[in-house]
C-alpha cells in the first residue's frame, strides 16, 4: 500500500498544525513541497484538540490538514495521541498518573506521564484511537499509522498500586509457586524468602538483588508492549495502511516482541557528527526485524535541544549524509523532527527545517538535494535489499541483564558491543546484520555473539547448535553463556552449552585492566585483551592465544580457541581483544567462511545491495574525513552517471550509489 500511494524512498517531517493559526497552513505546505517533502507526521500530541471534552471528538481541523497536504502531493503518517492525555482526563483520574518510587505522582505538563497499566487510561486511549481510526482509516492520503510516541518504562518504572499488583501476578505466572521463586532467586541469602507473591516489594529503597530488578524491568517493558498491541488491534480494524510505533535506541524494550504485530519498524535517532557511525548499528538491527523496510521517523536537521542547546552547528554535508543513511542501510523513509520550530513550549530551541518565523534554515538546500537524489536512485533503492552473510547478536534480555548486573563497573552493554565489535567490523568494510534472539540464522556464514550473558532465550541455544553443526562459524564470547535466563550462575557447570560443544573447560575468570595478564598468539606475537579474562583448559591444538604472564596458576591457560564442531567451527573468545587482534580473528573466520570484503580506509559504510533492480554498493562516508575503497569491477554511480573502477577516493561526507 505504501508503495502505491507514496513510492519509497521519501523524505518527510513532523508537523504540528495545532501549534499554528490556520492561516499559516498554506505557506507551510508550500515550503514542504519546495523542500521535496513527500510525507508529514501529524497528530501525535494533539489529543486535547481532537477531544477537548470527554467523548466529544473534533476532527474537522485535522481533515482540513490531511486534505490540504493531499492537494500538494504530500502524504500523511497519522499518530495516535496517547502520549499526551488532556488535563480533563487527569482531573477525573488522578490515579492514572505515573507514581515514582517515592510514592509521588507525575503531574500534568509533559508527556508519557500516565501509567500503561491503568484501566481508565487504557479505556480513554482506546476511545480516542477508535474514533481516529473510524474517521481516517480509509483516507487514501494516510499512508501509515504511528502508535503513541517513544514509549519506554518511565525512569525506574511506575510504582503505583496497580503496577505492583500486576507485577505480583506477572511473577506468579512465570514461577508458578512462591517456593519456586525463592529457590531460583536464592532467597535464603539475607533471609529474603517470601511466603506469598503479594509480599514481594516493588524494587525501591533497598539494596535489591539483581533478579527482582530484572523481573521488574521485564514487567514494566511488557506493560508498554501490551499497551501498544492494544492500539494496533483497534487501528487494524479500520485500515490496511502500515502500522508501527516510533521507538528510541533503548533495547531494554524488546524490539522483536513489540513489533511482532506491526507492519513495519519506526525509529527515532539523534546521532551527531561525533557518533554518526553508531546510527548504522541501529539501522543494521532494524533492517531485519520486519520484511517491510523501516521508516526513520525522527532525526535532527542540525541539532537537538529543549530550551537550551548543548550542541554546535553541524558541518556542511552532515544533514545530507544523515538523511541518506537510513535509506542506504535498507529503510524506506527519513523524516525530520521537526518541520517548523515551536514558537513556545518545551522544545522551542530544537533544530528544524523552518524557523518559528517560517524561514528556511541553512541546511534547506541539503534537504532539497537529498530529495532529488532519492528520485534519481529510486528504482535501484526500491528494487534491491541489503545483503550480508555476517550477523552479530544484540538482545533485549541481555540488555536488561547488564542493566541489573553490569558484571564490570561502568560496563554498558550497547556501548561496548558497538565500540568493541561493531565498529572494527565496519572499519574492515563489513556489513553486518545486528540480530535479536528470534531472528533466523539461515543464510549467515559467520555469527558473532559477544556479551551474551545468557543464551537462554526461547530456542536460541538449539538453533545456534544446529546452525554450527550445519557449517556455520560462531565467534562466541567474552562474557557469553555464563548465566541462566534470569541471571543466576550455573551451579552444575560453568557455561550453558559452550563447554559441552567445544570440550574446553573454563578454569578461571578474573578482571584485569592491563596491569598483570599477558598473552600471545601461537606465533609469539603479543596479544592484548582487556577488562575481563576467561582462562580455559584446552588442548594446544585448539589454542590460538595463550596466557604467558601473571599468576603462576593461570600461566599456560588458553584465552582464544578454535574448535571444529560438526561441519562448522566455534571460536571462543576469553577476553575483549584489541581492535588489531579482533581483526586478525575476524579475517581468519571470514576467509574460512568464504566471505570476501572490499578494501577500504576511513569511516566508510559499505552497503552491498542486490535484487530485481540489479546489484551494487552504496558507500556512505560518516566521519567527515577522506576515505577510499578498491572496486574490483566497473560500477556506475547513479547520482552523477560517472563510472568507477579500482582505487576510489571519497571526499568527506560523500555518498556513492554504485550499480554494476
Q: What is the pLDDT of residue 251?
A: 84
Q: What is the pLDDT of residue 471?
A: 98
φ/ψ of residue 532, rounded to 5: -140, 135
Confirm whether 85 is domain-assigned: no
Confirm whether 359 is domain-assigned: no
Is residue 140 among the annotated active site residues?
no
Buried b (16+ CB within 10 A) or exposed e, 342-374: beeeeeeebbbbbeeeeebbebbebbbbbbebb
What is the residue range of 627's domain?
600-659
| 545 has pLDDT over 50 | yes
pLDDT in tens, 7-24: 689 999 999 999 999 999
Buried b (16+ CB within 10 A) or exposed e, 592-629: ebebebbebbbbbbbbbbeeebeebbbbbbbbbeebeb
Q: What is the pLDDT of residue 2?
A: 40
Confirm whether 368 is domain-assigned: no
Domain harbouring 623, CATH code:
2.60.40.1180
Strands 10-14 and 333-336: parallel
Residue in 150, 347, 456, 499 annotated catalytic = 150
118 is in an annotated binding site: no
The reply to whether 494 and 626 lie within a common domain is no
Confirm whether 621 is domain-assigned: yes
584 is in an annotated binding site: no
Confirm whether 608 is domain-assigned: yes
The reply to whether 503 and 604 lie within a common domain is no
The reply to whether 413 and 544 lie within a common domain is yes
Domain harbouring 410, CATH code:
3.40.50.880
The reply to whether 623 and 480 lie within a common domain is no
224 is in an annotated binding site: no
The reply to whether 612 and 655 lie within a common domain is yes
| Residue ranges in 287-395 assigned as alpha helix (H) | 318-328, 364-376, 378-382
Is residue 150 among the annotated active site residues?
yes
Confirm whether 78 is domain-assigned: no
At which of 536, 566, 593 does a domain end? 593
The reply to whether 401 and 434 lie within a common domain is yes
196 is in an annotated binding site: no
Q: What is the pLDDT of residue 7?
A: 67
pLDDT in tens, 37-58: 999 999 999 999 999 999 999 9
149 is in an annotated binding site: yes
When the pLDDT of each residue in the chain is averaged and rounded to a whole number, the result is 96
| 133 has pLDDT over 70 | yes
Confirm whether 609 is domain-assigned: yes
Rounded Cα distance, 525 and 528, in Å: 10
Q: Is 36 helix (H, G, I), strand (E, B) or coil?
A: coil
Reply yes or no: is the peptide bond before residue 368 cis, omega within 30 of 0: no
Q: What is the pLDDT of residue 5?
A: 56
115 is in an annotated binding site: yes
Q: What is the pLDDT of residue 3?
A: 36
Q: What is the pLDDT of residue 550?
A: 80
Per residue, the 3-state secondary structure of 372-384, as one string, reads HHHHHCHHHHHCC
At which of 544, 568, 593 does a domain end? 593
Would you say 74 and 38 are in contact if contact means Cβ atoms under 8 Å apart? yes
Residue in 298, 366, 373, 621 annotated catalytic = 298
The reply to whether 511 and 643 lie within a common domain is no
| 483 has pLDDT over 70 | yes
pLDDT in tens, 405-450: 999 999 999 999 999 999 999 999 999 999 999 999 999 999 999 9
Q: How large is the average pLDDT for residues 312-322?
A: 96
pLDDT in tens, 329-359: 999 999 999 999 999 999 999 999 999 999 9
The reply to whether 549 and 443 lie within a common domain is yes
Residue 658 CB neighbours (<10 A): 24
Please state the domain count of the chain: 2
Amino acid at each position: 500500500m505504501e508503495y502505491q500511494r507514496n513510492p519509497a524512498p521519501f523524505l518527510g517531517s513532523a508537523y504540528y498544525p495545532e501549534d499554528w493559526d490556520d492561516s499559516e497552513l498554506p505557506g507551510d505546505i508550500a515550503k514542504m513541497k519546495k523542500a521535496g517533502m513527500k510525507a508529514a507526521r501529524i497528530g501525535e500530541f494533539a489529543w486535547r484538540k481532537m477531544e477537548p471534552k470527554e467523548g466529544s471528538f473534533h476532527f474537522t481541523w485535522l481533515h482540513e490538514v490531511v486534505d490540504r497536504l493531499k492537494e500538494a502531493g504530500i502524504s500523511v503518517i497519522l499518530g495516535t495521541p496517547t502520549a499526551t492525555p488532556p488535563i480533563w482526563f487527569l482531573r477525573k483520574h488522578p490515579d492514572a498518573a505515573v507514581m515514582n518510587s517515592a510514592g509521588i505522582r507525575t503531574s500534568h505538563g509533559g508527556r508519557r506521564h500516565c501509567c500503561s497499566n491503568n484501566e481508565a487510561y487504557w479505556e480513554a486511549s482506546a476511545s480516542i484511537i477508535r474514533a481516529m481510526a473510524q474517521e481516517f482509516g480509509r483516507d487514501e492520503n494516510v499512508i501509515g499509522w504511528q502508535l503513541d510516541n517513544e514509549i519506554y518504562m518511565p525512569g525506574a518504572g511506575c510504582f503505583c498500586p496497580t503496577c505492583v499488583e500486576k507485577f505480583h501476578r506477572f511473577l506468579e505466572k512465570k514461577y508458578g509457586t512462591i517456593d519456586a521463586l525463592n529457590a531460583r532467586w536464592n532467597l535464603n541469602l539475607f533471609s529474603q524468602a517470601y511466603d506469598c507473591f503479594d509480599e514481594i516489594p516493588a524494587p525501591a529503597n533497598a539494596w535489591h538483588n539483581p533478579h527482582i530488578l530484572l523481573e521488574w524491568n521485564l514487567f514494566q517493558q511488557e506493560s508498554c508492549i501490551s499497551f501498544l498491541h492494544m492500539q494496533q488491534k483497534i487501528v487494524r480494524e479500520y485500515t490496511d495502511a502500515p502500522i508501527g510505533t516510533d521507538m528510541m535506541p533503548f533495547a531494554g524494550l524488546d524490539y522483536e516482541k513489540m513489533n511482532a504485530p506491526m507492519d513495519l519498524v519506526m525509529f527515532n535517532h539523534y546521532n551527531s557528527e561525533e557518533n554518526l557511525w553508531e546510527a548504522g548499528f541501529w539501522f543494521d538491527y532494524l533492517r531485519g526485524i520486519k520484511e517491510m523496510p523501516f521508516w526513520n521517523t525522527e532525526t535532527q536537521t542540525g541539532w537537538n535541544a529543549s530550551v537550551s542547546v548543548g550542541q554546535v552547528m553541524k558541518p556542511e554535508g552532515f544533514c545530507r549524509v544523515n538523511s541518506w543513511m537510513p535509506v542506504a542501510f535498507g529503510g524506506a523513509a527519513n523524516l525530520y523532527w521537526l518541520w517548523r520550530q515551536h514558537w513556545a513550549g518545551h522544545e522551542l530551541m530544537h533544530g528544524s527545517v523552518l524557523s518559528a518565523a517560517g524561514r528556511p534554515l541553512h541546511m534547506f538546500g541539503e534537504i532539497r538535494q537529498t530529495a532529488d537524489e532519492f528520485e534519481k536512485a529510486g528504482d535501484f533503492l526500491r528494487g534491491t535489499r541489503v545483503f550480508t552473510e555476517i550477523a552479530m547478536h544484540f538482545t533485549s534480555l541481555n540488555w536488561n541483564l547488564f542493566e541489573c548486573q553490569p558484571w564490570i563497573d561502568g560496563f554498558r552493554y550497547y556501548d561496548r558491543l558497538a565500540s568493541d565489535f561493531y565498529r572494527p567490523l565496519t572499519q574492515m568494510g563489513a556489513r553486518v546484520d545486528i540480530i535479536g534472539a528470534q531472528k533466523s540464522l539461515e543464510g549467515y556464514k559467520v555469527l558473532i555473539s559477544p556479551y551474551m550473558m545468557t543464551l537462554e532465550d526461547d530456542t536460541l541455544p538449539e538453533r545456534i547448535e544446529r546452525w554450527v553443526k550445519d557449517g556455520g562459524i560462531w565467534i562466541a564470547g567474552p562474557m557469553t553463556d555464563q548465566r541462566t535466563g534470569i541471571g543466576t550462575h550455573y551451579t552444575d557447570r560453568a557455561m550453558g552449552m559452550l563447554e559441552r560443544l567445544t570440550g574446553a573447560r573454563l578454569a578461571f575468570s578474573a578482571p584485569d585492566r592491563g596491569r598483570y595478564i599477558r598473552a600471545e598468539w601461537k606465533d609469539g606475537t603479543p596479544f592484548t585483551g582487556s577488562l575481563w579474562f576467561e582462562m580455559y583448559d584446552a588442548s594446544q591444538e585448539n589454542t590460538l592465544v595463550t596466557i604467558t604472564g601473571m599468576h603462576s596458576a593461570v600461566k599456560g591457560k588458553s584465552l582464544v580457541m578454535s574448535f571444529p564442531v560438526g561441519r562448522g567451527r566455534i571460536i571462543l573468545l576469553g577476553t575483549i581483544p584489541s581492535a588489531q587482534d579482533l581483526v586478525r580473528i575476524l579475517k581468519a573466520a571470514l576467509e574460512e567462511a568464504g566471505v570476501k570484503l572490499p578494501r577500504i580506509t576511513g569511516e566508510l559504510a559499505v552497503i552491498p545491495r542486490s535484487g530485481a533492480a540489479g546489484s551494487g554498493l552504496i558507500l556512505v562516508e560518516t566521519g567527515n574525513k577522506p576515505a577510499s575503497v578498491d572496486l574490483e569491477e566497473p560500477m556506475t554511480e547513479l547520482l552523477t552517471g560517472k563510472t568507477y573502477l579500482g582505487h576510489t577516493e571519497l571526499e568527506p561526507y560523500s555518498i556513492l550509489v554504485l550499480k554494476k
